[in-house]
A and B are shown apart, each in its own frame.
Chain A
């Protein structure tokens, strides 16, 4: 158990809908990273938050957004969902001091 929690485990929804994925980092970690894993693209970085502020963006679609709250949990919002958004979404947390990233169990999103 990495100490990173993610909810829900599974989401099944329809095209055009909006969903919210939630992540709680390990105790003491200020950074939260979101990654998408699909069969054809592998693990791809989406976005990083550090202590409530956006720090880095990867290939995140404009339909996707994220935020980190004062208690350091983070939410990833996916809107106008398309079939191609079906994937595993992982959250990871870490500290700048030690650089390792610890992954949560993921949320499996299926868009029908």
Chain B
């Protein structure tokens, strides 16, 4: 079993939809949770960074962490075609290696 599980999709939604992306994990020692966006095999771009449980909002993006359920989510409101990319969840302990999910491929149709 992988430490981090993420549905690879692909996920296709119409423009303006709310998108929900999720990951589950097994290692309760993880404290830091991140979402990266990766366009077409370019370098992953850090979107959201969260410490421990709770919510964090940045523009159209909201990250949620539920440590009791070992479950994290990324919500994208008013999705745009430019949001079409692969979204990777990642997590670690302090300063350590990142453990990534497999990535979810998102397509937002105009």
A residues with CB within 8 A of B: 2, 4, 31, 33, 35, 37, 42-45, 48, 56, 58, 88, 90, 92, 94, 96, 99-106, 108
With CB as the reference atom, state the residue of chain A lying closest to B97.
A45
Q: Is the interface of A mostly helix, strand, loop or mixed?
A: strand
In the complex, the answer to whether A90 meets B46 with C-beta atoms within 8 Å is no
Min Cβ gap A53→B in Å is 13
Which chain B residues (53-98) contact chain A, with CB distance < 8 Å? 88, 90, 92, 94-98
5 A/B residue pairs, CB under 8 Å, sorted by A: A2-B43, A4-B43, A48-B96, A101-B98, A103-B43
Pick from B34, B46, B49 the residue with the most CB of A within 10 Å.
Answer: B46
- In the assembled complex, which residues on chain A have CB atoms less than 8 Å from the CB atom of B100? 42-44
With CB as the reference atom, state the residue of chain A lying closest to B2.
A42
Q: How many residues of B contact A (CB 8 A)?
A: 24
B residues with CB within 8 A of A: 32, 34, 36, 41-46, 49, 51, 88, 90, 92, 94-103
In the complex, the answer to whether A99 meets B94 with C-beta atoms within 8 Å is yes
- In the assembled complex, which residues on chain B have CB atoms less than 8 Å from the CB atom of A96? 94-95
Given contacts A42-B102, A99-B92, contact A48 B97 (CB under 8 A): yes
